[in-house]
Structure 1
Amino acid sequence: MDELFHVSERKSTIGTELRAGLTTFLAMAYIIAVNPAVLSGAGIDAGALACATCLGAGIMTICMGIFANRPLACASGLGVNAMIAGIATTVCGGDWHVAMSVIFLEGVVILLLVLCGLREAIMDAIPVVLRHAISVGLGLFIAMIGLCDAGIITAGAGTLVGLGDITSPTFIVGIISILVTVALACRNVPGSLLIGIVVAVIAGIPLGVTQAPTGIIAPLDFSSIGGPIADAGGVPAIVKVLTDPTLLVISFSLLMSDFFDTMGTAMAVAKQGEFLTDDGNVENIKEILIVDSAAAAVGGFMGVSSITTFVESTSGAADGGRTGLTSVTTGVLFILAAFFSPIVTIVSSAATCGALVYVGYLMMSEASEIDWSDVSQGFPAFMIVAGVPFTYSISAGIGLGFIAYVIVALFKGEASKIKPLMWIAVLAFLVYFFVA
């Protein structure tokens, strides 16, 4: 095991990797309940969705661990699943098989782009300052997710955001998770993020936040699998997508979102997992992108929306995960959860607040690498740092920063500094913003 995953070589231990895998799983476990809740509105059986969500996440996370040997985990992405549910009921006339075929097609195309080297080449063309900004923006985004999940920040009365109800049980559990995590981290206690989650889950029992499981074992249901090859008006669903211009445009929008979301997530996890080089490159990025791209297609085929690399993977990396053994552990737990999902779903999103907020704090260190005194460097970086959390979209925030970088460079007469692939990325973002 040690030789297979290079555990000792990366200054880790098998115990640390297993613990980090559990930390990542608990930080992501909410998707087992949330994904079926979102997609069942499209007409897919909720039990089948829970089963396929676990199996899809488990299989692709294990693939990530074995193929890329980095601590990244995959599962059905939030936001995309809500979009697909809406597409199924509106554009696709209630046929969820066609909607999932849109995801399947997007995954296949983006996989081809990776195999051709385009996706990796675009990442290499990104200026170092923007790579640092992506890490900072992701840190704020991760912290914002944790604070929102705990109700610590909410939509305000007459304002976009405000402080939540401090007497709310969810708020209290979130604060407990933060305090425990930070207190243990101050004392350099191993597994502080995991302990913080567990303590918050226990604290949530008398507060009514941690719900009693509805059972122990859930039956497996595979009825959501195979959407792209299902009949859709006399032809396979995937054929209907390929012949419908509207659905092709939607597929392009999803491709852009997946393309840059994963880039940002990979850089964020690489920073915590210590496989981000000094010039901002992610080690093993090609393998990571291949698995992530294939995961999107697998998600569409399994009927669970796009499976993508989860930003919550940073929690496991921050807890010491350095190898693919962390991912394999997370993946195995997801597969087991397919059988025991009623028990797993007792971990509330509020309980993971502390882990996500602490990871956000750690990622803020990248801000010191940005020369804020130089407008050509600082302003595009700021647009990413502010854009990611303020738009609640990784890809939108990155797009704003890319466009700002090109505009400032043009104003300064430094167009020659812009690499050709950056021009392509900016043009793609402009199209994405207009059609999304």
Structure 2
Amino acid sequence: QVSWGEAMALVVINGLIIVLLAATGLRKLIFDAVPVQLKLAITVGIGLFIAFIGFVNAGFVNPAEGTPLELGVGGSITSPATLLFIATLLIGGILMALRVKGAILIALVAGTILAAIVNIFTPVADFGLSGSIVAAPNLSLVGAIDFGFDWGRVGFVALIMFVFTLVFTNFFDAMGTMTGLAREAGLADERGNFPRIKSALIVEGVGAVVGGGTSSSSATVFVESGSGIGEGARTGLANVVTGVLFLLAMFVTPVTGLVPGFVAAAALVLVGALMLTQIKNIDLSDFNVLLPVFLTATVMPLTYSIANGIGAGFISWVVLNTFSGKAKQVHWLLWIVAAGFVLYFARGPIEAAFGV
């Protein structure tokens, strides 16, 4: 086990490695080696993933004893929170079908108002603003990182495995998210590449370093950015505005919780539906393409991991094309990455073998 400070140090190390890979161009080489069909599948998979997150956050689907998932609670979706999620989703869907500008934002505001009204009769969310709405943020954990690893408690092999897992997850989660968002924003070309990709990959790595340095998770690109793209964000200005608003939100934390999670979940489902449209650009007549695309798109939501979906797609792409006589069509870097994913998926037994 590592301490909190040591864990943050590992996040910083992970970020530095990501920056190095991006600055040297290796990260872009791997990005370019990915077949366009898999890049499109990543977009579809992320769409299904964020929609699934929305369904779970809203209580529309839930883990149930004896079964992986069930509809609502006990097979019922009559809980007030879930019904408000459905109402918000339908409002947003109708507005989007009518091509109303700001449909998602309007739906979120409407859903929040409905929730506040329902909350008068039956508690569904905490809308109370007890005390002052303005308060100084607690920054006591900023810089609480510890590079002085206790080698007696945490072995060298264990640290290597920790860093390997972080880098692999960060690397391919970000690559997959950028691919999906760029495609949804209409910025990607026919090969799935988008402008200034190297700079974007470097900045994402720096975000991981800053995230660890401020004692938080890696500040990477998140799939929820698709909600902004769904409203028309394209140039990056929306991200700057969002960042400024987040900084201001630190001082008015009670206000930021006014939108219930089950209402916000509707936006994720709406954006997920938009991203699913990319499947029309994939020729699924070849099973060498169909199975990797299917695995990429389904493993992401089912395992709650973008990296897992990418790994399943990469490995199956290499194996199927190799044994069907198309090995020469597989980029050599894809072979290396697929081998890396094999180690990534087998890290449990490897860690156990070394006593990690």
Alignment of 1:35-434 (within 5 A): 91-92=1-2, 95-165=3-73, 166-205=77-116, 206-207=118-119, 208-211=123-126, 212-214=128-130, 215-228=132-145, 230=146, 236-237=147-148, 244-434=156-346
Question: What letter corresponds to residue 244 of structure 2 in structure 1?
Answer: V
| CA deviation map 1:198-221 (0-9, x unaligned) | 111122223333422344012222
Q: Which amino acid aligns with 1:134?
A: I
Greater mean alpha carbon deviation, residues 367-376 or residues 255-264: 367-376
Distance 2:28 2:34 in 1: 10
Local SS of the residue matching 2:220: strand
Q: Is the 8 A contact 2:36 2:190 kept in 1?
A: no
Query: Given the two structures, how large is their TM-score scaled by the length of structure 2?
Result: 0.91
Q: CA RMSD in A?
A: 1.8
> Are the aligned partners of 2:39 and 2:180 in contact in 1 as well (CA < 8 Å)?
no
Counterparts of 1:160 and 1:283, CA distance in 2: 41
Percentage of identical aligned residues: 39
Partner SS, residue 309 of structure 1: coil
> Quick check: 1:139–1:360 contact (8 Å CA) kept in 2?
yes
Contact 1:277 1:283 in 2 (8 A): no
Partner SS, residue 239 of structure 2: helix
CA deviation digits over 1:309-328, x for unaligned, max 9?
11000000010111111001
Separation in 1, partners of 2:253, 2:124 = 17
Equivalent position SS for 2:264 = helix
* Structure 1 residue identity aligned to 2:83: I
Q: Which runs of 5+ in 2 are unaligned?
A: 349-356
Q: Size of the alignment, in residue pairs?
A: 338
Deviation per residue, 1:218-252 (Å, 9 max, x gap) = 22222111123x4xxxxx43696997331221111
Letter in structure 2 aligned against 1:396: N
Q: Structure 2: which amino acid aligns with 1:209? A: V
Aligned to 1:87: none
Structure 2: distance between partners of 1:324 and 1:130: 25
Alpha-carbon distance in 2 for matches of 1:326, 1:239: 43
Contact 1:146 1:356 in 2 (8 A): yes
Counterpart secondary structure, 1:339? coil
Quote the Cα distance in structure 2 between the aligned partners of 1:371 and 1:274: 19
- Aligned residue for 1:322, secondary structure, equals coil
Q: Secondary structure at the match of 1:279?
A: coil
Superposition deviation, residue 306 in structure 1: 1.4
Classify 1:242/1:302 alpha carbon distance in 2 versus 1 (closer, same or farther; 3 Å): farther
Report how far residue 297 of structure 1 moved. Answer: 1.1
The alpha carbon displacement at 1:170 in A equals 1.8
Counterpart of 2:353 in structure 1 is none
Residue segments in structure 1 that go unaligned for 5+ positions in a row: 1-90, 231-235
Q: TM-score, normalised by structure 1?
A: 0.74
Once the 2 structures are TM-superposed, how far is the Cα of residue 352 of structure 1 from its aligned partner? 1.4
